[in-house]
């Protein structure tokens, strides 16, 4: 049976379910760079370049293996610029094919589209399970069934038991499931940061960079320098570098932030796992091996494994369990526009501007910068969920909707009303001051709570609690905070609200 096999830009894995039974004589593998996917949100230029270059290298590897490949470049004049259009064009030019085989996409909108193709194309469409994850969706749903609250920590423990990773029999290594309390150190001024391992762009990548510079010039972000891995071999070298060089200190400094330092001891491996260039289970096992060999402490190995075996698997389960309604949720009725400084990095707040600058340069910022700076501000300021979701999805090279939406909708802005988190991750300037050196060089004073020159996070924090009193007061984890708010005198409350209105007006969010 002649079969067309469609591979998406985040499925660049030779063991992909749709490629395991490929027939060299009768089948055709299709990869296509299309405007539909490159432009449905304002994707960072570096993100587009990474995906296109990785796709081209993957196609080349398949061809080197002797497999039949059809590749559509974004600058092909005959490019239909939609996935459906490219499937139809391949069928017309190289078919007819009796069957289309593909793997589940990472976005609900594409899954809906793929399910309609059988009727549209008039051929059998087989959508295979994406088994590149450690837990199947059935495994997640079995665990979630009947639970009043879905807590990542308990799912994570199940994954540890299922895989045996960082387990000594039935006991977690080190005697504890979670060493998060040992992973919150601030970064000393004199700490030696590791020199990153970058990949020099080859001819294929250079060609992609030229095309992206020309065709996506209006998109956000800096395109060069470009040093990300775009092949599985180079991604493996990135993994080796991280395990040997950065993992030992990753744990204690994983929540730290420092002005002008984009990467610290972070791995950047989510970029490669989410595109298919690295196997997440293998990545976890490498961290475990480092711990067992005495090359990394337990808090580092466990903290790193938890991000993959815990959070990464958990958010995927949340996404598919609650879509499509999940992205429609707006528990706090947030409706303000996204401030311009999420693009320009000119807010005057050192923390925001450094995180946005880092994002603009690298299409990357680490999880605390995303959650507790740009996400925290969006939460406190009441930014519309659709706007902040589109921003996160577009600006980060590791962002695909299955992973971006729960982290934003659930963790950052509490729009899902508590599906992901037990309370909003709201914080004043004191948290940012504790975990970074941003406040030392900021135009605002973190020690000042209200009035001219006060840190906006300080009064916006209390204003957020005031604005959402009726929605959040019943949350037991906020009971003490609301008791504190109840004891505030009216003059202080009025000052908080007045300062908040003044600031929000100054950034165009209030009339």
State the CATH number of the domain containing residue 364: 1.10.579.10
Structure tokens at 188: 């000393």
Same domain for 449 and 361, yes or no, is: yes
Same domain for 284 and 176, yes or no, is: yes
Contact 276, 61 (CB under 8 A): no
pLDDT score of 26: 92
Pick the last residue of a domain from 295, 322, 349: 322
Band (pLDDT 50/70/90 cuts) for residue 402 is: very high
pLDDT score of 476: 92
State the CATH number of the domain containing residue 82: 3.40.50.620
In this prediction the pTM is 0.96
Q: Is the peptide bond before 96 cis (omega within 30 degrees of 0)?
A: yes
Pick the last residue of a domain from 74, 98, 128: 128
Report phi then psi at 72, rounded to 5: -105, 120
Please state the rounded mean pLDDT for residues 473-485: 93
Q: Give bridge partners of residue 258 from the DSSP assignment.
A: 261
Q: Give bridge partners of residue 172 from the DSSP assignment.
A: 167
At residue 510, does pLDDT exceed 90?
Answer: no
pLDDT score of 3: 96
pLDDT score of 198: 97
Q: What is the C-alpha to C-alpha distance for residues 397 and 395, in angstroms, rounded to an integer?
A: 7
Band (pLDDT 50/70/90 cuts) for residue 95 is: confident
pLDDT score of 506: 96
At residue 298, does pLDDT exceed 90?
Answer: yes
Query: Which pLDDT tens digit goes with each residue over 341-365?
Result: 999 999 999 999 999 999 999 999 9
Domain annotation covers residue 285: yes
Structure tokens at 392: 């996160």
Domain annotation covers residue 212: no
Domain annotation covers residue 384: yes
State the CATH number of the domain containing residue 284: 1.25.40.80
Query: Which pLDDT tens digit goes with each residue over 178-230?
Result: 999 988 899 998 999 999 999 999 999 999 999 999 999 999 999 999 999 99
- Kindly tell me the burial class for residue 489, based on how many C-beta atoms sit within 10 Å of its own C-beta (0-12, 13-18, 19 or more): exposed
Same domain for 150 and 242, yes or no, is: yes
Angstrom distances, CA of residue 484 to CA of 106, 295, 420, 462, 465: 43, 46, 26, 10, 11
Q: Is the peptide bond before 255 cis (omega within 30 degrees of 0)?
A: no
Q: What is the C-alpha to C-alpha distance for residues 492 and 92, in angstroms, rounded to an integer?
A: 71
Pick the last residue of a domain from 106, 128, 150: 128
Same domain for 403 and 482, yes or no, is: yes
Contact 12, 108 (CB under 8 A): no
Q: Domain range spanning residue 171?
A: 137-193+231-322
Band (pLDDT 50/70/90 cuts) for residue 66 is: very high
Angstrom distances, CA of residue 164 to CA of 140, 284, 475: 17, 11, 35
Domain annotation covers residue 249: yes
Same domain for 87 and 46, yes or no, is: yes
Average pLDDT, the chain: 96
Domain annotation covers residue 454: yes
Same domain for 164 and 26, yes or no, is: no
Same domain for 246 and 301, yes or no, is: yes
Same domain for 310 and 426, yes or no, is: no
Domain annotation covers residue 292: yes
Angstrom distances, CA of residue 33 to CA of 86, 114, 213, 275: 9, 17, 15, 14
Same domain for 354 and 501, yes or no, is: yes
Q: Could you give the angle at the alpha carbon of 337 between the alpha carbons of 336 and 341, nearest 5°?
A: 125
Query: Which pLDDT tens digit goes with each residue over 5-39?
Result: 999 999 999 999 999 999 999 999 999 999 999 99
pLDDT score of 273: 98
Q: Based on the structure, what is the number of domains in the chain?
A: 3
Q: What is the C-alpha to C-alpha distance for residues 79 and 448, in angstroms, rounded to an integer?
A: 57
Angstrom distances, CA of residue 354 to CA of 172, 218, 342, 438: 38, 22, 11, 8
Query: Which pLDDT tens digit goes with each residue over 113-172?
Result: 999 999 999 999 999 999 999 999 999 999 999 999 999 999 999 999 999 999 999 999
Q: Biggest alpha carbon distance in the chain? A: 79
Domain annotation covers residue 262: yes
Contact 500, 460 (CB under 8 A): yes
Report phi then psi at 341, rounded to 5: -70, -5
At residue 511, does pLDDT exceed 80?
Answer: no
Angstrom distances, CA of residue 11 to CA of 14, 73, 420: 9, 17, 26
pLDDT score of 82: 97
pLDDT score of 14: 97
Same domain for 482 and 447, yes or no, is: yes
> Residue 411's closest CA among 419, 396, 421?
421
Same domain for 388 and 465, yes or no, is: yes
Report phi then psi at 171, rounded to 5: -110, 135
Contact 90, 7 (CB under 8 A): no
Same domain for 349 and 486, yes or no, is: yes
Domain annotation covers residue 11: yes
């Amino acid at each position: 049976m002649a079969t067309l096999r469609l591979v998406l830009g985040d499925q660049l894995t030779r063991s992909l379910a749709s490629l395991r039974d490929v027939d060299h004589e009768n089948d055709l593998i299709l990869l296509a760079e299309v405007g539909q996917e490159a432009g449905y949100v304002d994707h960072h230029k570096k993100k587009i370049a990474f995906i296109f270059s990785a796709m081209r290298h993957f196609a080349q590897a398949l061809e080197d293996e002797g497999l039949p490949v059809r590749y559509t470049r974004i600058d092909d004049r005959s490019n239909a610029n939609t996935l459906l259009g490219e499937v139809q064009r391949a069928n017309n030019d190289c078919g007819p094919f009796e069957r289309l085989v593909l793997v589940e996409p990472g976005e609900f909108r594409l899954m809906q589209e793929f399910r309609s193709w059988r009727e549209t194309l008039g051929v059998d469409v087989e959508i295979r399970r994406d088994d590149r994850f450690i837990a199947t969706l059935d495994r997640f749903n079995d665990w979630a069934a009947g639970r009043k609250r879905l807590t990542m920590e308990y799912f994570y423990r199940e994954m540890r038991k299922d895989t045996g990773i960082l387990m000594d029999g039935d006991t977690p290594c080190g005697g504890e499931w979670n060493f998060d309390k040992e992973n919150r150190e601030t970064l000393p001024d004199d700490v030696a940061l590791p020199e990153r391992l970058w990949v020099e762009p080859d001819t294929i990548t250079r060609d992609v960079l030229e095309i992206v510079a020309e065709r996506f010039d209006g998109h956000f972000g800096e395109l060069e320098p470009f040093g990300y891995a775009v092949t599985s071999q180079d991604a493996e070298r990135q993994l080796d570098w991280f395990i040997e060089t950065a993992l030992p200190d990753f744990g204690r400094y994983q929540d730290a932030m420092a002005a002008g330092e984009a990467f610290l001891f972070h791995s950047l491996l989510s970029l490669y796992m989410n595109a298919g260039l690295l196997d997440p289970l293998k990545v976890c096992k490498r961290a475990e091996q480092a711990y067992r060999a005495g090359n990394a402490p337990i808090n580092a190995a466990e903290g790193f494994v938890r991000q993959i075996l815990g959070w990464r698997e958990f958010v995927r389960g949340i996404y598919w369990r609650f879509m499509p309604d999940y992205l429609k949720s707006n528990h706090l009725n947030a409706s303000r526009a996204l401030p311009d400084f999420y693009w320009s990095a000119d807010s005057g707040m050192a923390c925001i501007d450094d995180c946005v600058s880092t994002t603009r340069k690298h299409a990357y910022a680490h999880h605390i910068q995303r959650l507790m700076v740009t996400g925290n501000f969006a939460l406190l300021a009441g930014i519309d969920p659709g706007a902040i979701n589109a921003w996160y999805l577009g600006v980060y090279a590791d962002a695909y909707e299955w992973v971006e939406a729960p982290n934003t909708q659930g963790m950052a802005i509490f729009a899902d009303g508590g599906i992901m988190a037990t309370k909003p991750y709201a914080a004043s300037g004191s948290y940012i001051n504790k975990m970074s050196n941003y406040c030392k060089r900021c135009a605002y004073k973190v020690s000042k709570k209200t009035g001219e020159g006060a840190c906006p996070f300080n009064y916006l924090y209390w204003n957020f609690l005031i604005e959402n009193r009726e929605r959040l007061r019943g949350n037991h984890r906020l009971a003490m905070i609301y008791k504190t708010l109840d004891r505030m005198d009216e003059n202080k409350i009025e000052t908080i609200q007045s300062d908040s209105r003044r600031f929000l007006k100054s950034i165009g969010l209030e009339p």
